Amino acid sequence: MKAEINEPTKTKPTIPKRVSLSTSHNSAKGTAGSKSAGNTPSSSPLVSKDVLTSKNVQKRRNLKEELNIDDEEVINVDGLDEVTASEGGLSTPKGQCPCFNTGSKNALLIKCVKCTQAFHPTCVNLNGLTKAIEKRSEAEAFSDFLKIFPRISQCNEELKESASTVEFFNEHIKHLVINEDSYKVQSQKLNHMETEIKLIKQGMDRLSKLSQEKNELEIPKLEILKQMQVQLQDFIRSNDNKDSKELSECSAGAIKDALADINRFGLLLEKNSSSIRLEIDSLKEVIHQQVHAKEEDKKSNEISFDRIDSIIADINAQLHSISDHVCPKGSLGVAVNVDGDRSDMQFSPPLTPNTASPHLVSTLPTQGPACDPYIKYVEDVVTDDLREKLLQVLETSSADFTSVGGSRDVLYFGEHGYWYTGAYHKARTIPLEIQDLIDCVRPSLPNTRSWINSCLVTRYRGPNSHIPMHSDNEASIDPESDIITVSIGQERTLKFIHTASSAESSLTLKNGSVYVMSRLSQEIWKHGIDPLEGLNEDTEDLNNVDQDQLTDHDIERPADSLMNRDEVRYSFTFRHVAPFFKNSTVIVGDSNTKYIKFGKDAGTLGKWLPGKRMWAAKIGDIPSPKDIGPYRNIVIHSGINDIRDDFNRASNRALIGQLKRKCDDIQKFYPNAKLHLSLLLPTKSPHVNVRVRELNSLFIDFVFNRNNMFVIDNSVLGTQNGCMPSKYGRFLRNGTPLANDVVHLGREGLRLFCMNIKRCIVQRGERQSVERFRGRSGDYRDALIRGGRSPIFHRS
Ligand SMILES: O=C(O)CCC(=O)C(=O)O
Ligand SMILES: [Fe+2]
């Protein structure tokens, strides 16, 4: 550093002082007050330690306040306070300036390197030097700031990290609170349901008491009547035998009339009491079903209760680990619970995560029956009278029968037209006699599920008449119904074969009997009737008929007169048949499918999409095929609950594996059903959406590698960023969007979701293209693609 003398001092004119700091300078005293331009000191001057320290302390204080860093850590910087010693040239003011001005205690003095005389910088005209020294201290402060900068940035990073951990922690507390709320709601519902069940049970008890009382009242009356009847008959017989003159013709007639009246009255009473009994029985049945349904409901609620419990326990366990992470010493640190009171936090012990889902194991036996070939067989259900009437009606409408397979004929009655063995049978009103037959057999089949709207009459002309092994699995039959068949005429044997194991079973069909098969059993068993005498060449294959290709074929059959009434068998098969059952749909899904309604009114999926909903909160909860039922369309919408939980969530690979097993089971059981996999819906949380996108990509990949499986694309429910906009979510009553609920659809969202499902089902058969999911611009699909996580999008 050079000390320049720039201008003469004006401060002390009485004693001119000049100092030369050059190496050639001999006596500071002798040249005091004179200029010595261009001279430089041989070494750097020393700056007063006190001055430097006070400036730096101020700077550091500012820095400390700005960064909010502990005093000790920031101030304790090496080197800054020890600049002076080794550099020489300036010293602490031991000597005095020859100006004799000692007014300022901290005045800076400059010592001559040769003669050690001290001077005020101003006295030797060194103002510039003072500034330079000040600047130097600033530069040094800056360089020191640079030295500690990495530490500051590190502190900053750590702060940020803690902030995000705290945010995460708070998020979980929020979940905990939400879960607690739903816990309370569920518990209220459960209590309510329990009261309802109690009420229904009380009602049932009252009813069965009533029915007993009724019977007790009616039976003695009937008994008395019967006794009277016997007495009168005896009386008439004895009088007839005696040929008594006392008994006039007239009184005998009156007694006979009375007897007839009593008979009629007795019959009426019997009929009434049996119809009352039937009514009470069916009422009881309905109530039983209701109680059962309520109890099932209660059970399923209890299951979700367990789930809530386990979720809360999981969250608690995770809160523990987060709190350990944030505050290793065990205090809860900056995170507080909703009340702000840390001591209130209660942690219950974590539950062991349920890794072995029972649903992972297929419940279907690979061999052997999964259900019985028929549900019920009852003999003598048709009265002789009705049988005779039916035979007469059928014999007079013989010409209306259509010959099938060469040995039997069919005649169809029903609300809707019906395709059967390659022929279309148009709708035709069920005759009164056949309606009587329904009324006649119904009391024998109290638990049968059938809303009969059709009757197929089959005429087996004689011993050679037969029907090949087949299943009644037509798409137009109600998937949840039973098939009822009444036999009249020649006794025949119905054979059953279990399709998977080839196990056989048979049932003798007596004249006047009825048997019931479930629609589900048609997926497992085949049935048929062999000819009684030697088998004719049989080319008929009922289950391999392309119904749209074949037309009605009428094969020559013997004239009615050649048919022997004793050898003929008529079967009356009652079914619930309608064209819209071809679209029958089961929706297996999570809470976003909970409010989807089936039916024909506004707000439902409509008459042309009949079906039912089934609960599957997670992929592992998808029910077994047998429980799902023989629906034409099976929609699966599960998975968000498998991934939205930050902890204990299954890996995508495990989930796809689980889904594959479920779909394999379903498709093996129902090879003709169409399986629709609904993509996970966008949520309001970008954090969850990352996983939604990942799993959806794998879903798409999965579906396009399988047959008879389709994707329901829900991208329309997302914004450009792939988030669910609040307009599709839930709202409070006052119209505020429910920000806390990030996954559930509101009314509008649900409407769109239903439209997507409907569209996918109605477009069945149209091959979906994976290209469609590559997207174009501005929607969820694109967000999915921009994520670039799916292998599907990298395939050529
Ligand atoms: O006649 C019978 O009992 C069986 C009829 C039958 O299986 C059918 O029509 O599909
Ligand atoms: Fe059949």
Give 37's contacts (C-beta < 8 A, 6+ positions apart).
4, 5, 6
The number of the ligand 1 atom at minimal distance from the alpha carbon of 487 is 3
Q: Is the CB of 571 under 6 A from ligand 1?
A: yes
Rounded to the nearest whole angstrom, what is the distance from the C-alpha of residue 552 to the centroid of ligand 2?
A: 18
Three-state DSSP state, 507: strand
The number of the ligand 1 atom at minimal distance from the alpha carbon of 458 is 1
Position 402, amino acid: T
Domains in the chain: boundaries: 162-352, 376-578, 584-794
Q: Would you say 28 and 115 are in contact if contact means Cβ atoms under 8 Å apart? A: yes
Query: How many whole angstroms separate alpha carbon 409 and alpha carbon 128?
Result: 125
686-703 helix and 780-787 helix, angle to the nearest 10 degrees: 90
Residue 745 CB-half CA count within 13 A: 23
pLDDT at 335: 24
For residue 521, which ligand has an atom nearest its CA? 2
| CATH superfamily of the domain spanning 584-794 | SGNH hydrolase (3.40.50.1110)
Q: Is the sign of the CA dihedral 694, 695, 701, 704 positive or negative? A: negative
Q: Is the CB of 658 under 6 A from ligand 1?
A: no
* Banded pLDDT at 27 (limits 50, 70, 90): very low
Helix (H) or strand (E) segment spanning residue 164: helix 127-242
* Banded pLDDT at 701 (limits 50, 70, 90): confident
pLDDT at 10: 37
Give 167's contacts (C-beta < 8 A, 6+ positions apart).
none
Protein residue with its CA nearest to atom 10 in ligand 1: 472
Q: Is the CB of 697 under 6 A from ligand 1?
A: no
Q: Is the CB of 573 under 6 A from ligand 1?
A: yes
State the DSSP code for 90.
Answer: B
Lowest mean pLDDT among 321-325, 329-333, 461-465, 662-666: 329-333
Count Cβ atoms below 10 Å from residue 586 Cβ, excluding itself: 24
Does residue 468 register a pLDDT over 70?
yes
Give 148's contacts (C-beta < 8 A, 6+ positions apart).
74, 77
Of residues 309 and 221, more confidence is placed in 221
**Topology annotation, domain 376-578:** Jelly Rolls (2.60.120)
Q: Estimate to the nearest angstrom the gap between the alpha carbon of 69 and the chain centroid.
A: 50
pLDDT at 667: 95
Tell me what ipTM this predicted complex has. 0.99
Q: Is the CB of 22 under 6 A from ligand 1?
A: no
Short-list 88, 87, 130, 83, CA closest to 113: 88
Protein residue with its CA nearest to atom 7 in ligand 1: 528
pLDDT at 477: 93
Strand residues in 312-420 grouped as ranges (E): 376-378, 402-404, 408-414, 418-420
For 162-352, CATH gives 1.10.287
Short-list 521, 710, 516, 520, CA closest to 630: 520
* Banded pLDDT at 662 (limits 50, 70, 90): very high
pLDDT at 535: 53
The number of the ligand 1 atom at minimal distance from the alpha carbon of 569 is 1
* Banded pLDDT at 255 (limits 50, 70, 90): low
What does DSSP say about strands 376-378 and 402-404: parallel, antiparallel, or unpaired? unpaired
Protein residue with its CA nearest to atom 3 in ligand 1: 571
Q: Is the CB of 456 under 6 A from ligand 1?
A: yes
Protein residue with its CA nearest to atom 1 in ligand 1: 571
Rounded to the nearest whole angstrom, what is the distance from the C-alpha of residue 648 to the centroid of ligand 1?
A: 53
Query: How many whole angstroms separate alpha carbon 569 and alpha carbon 512?
Result: 11
Average pLDDT of every residue of the chain: 71
The number of the ligand 1 atom at minimal distance from the alpha carbon of 515 is 3
pLDDT at 1: 36
Does residue 495 register a pLDDT over 50?
yes
Query: What's phi and psi for 228, nearest 5 deg?
Result: -60, -40
Of residues 725 and 160, more confidence is placed in 725
Query: How many whole angstroms separate alpha carbon 597 and alpha carbon 158?
Result: 52
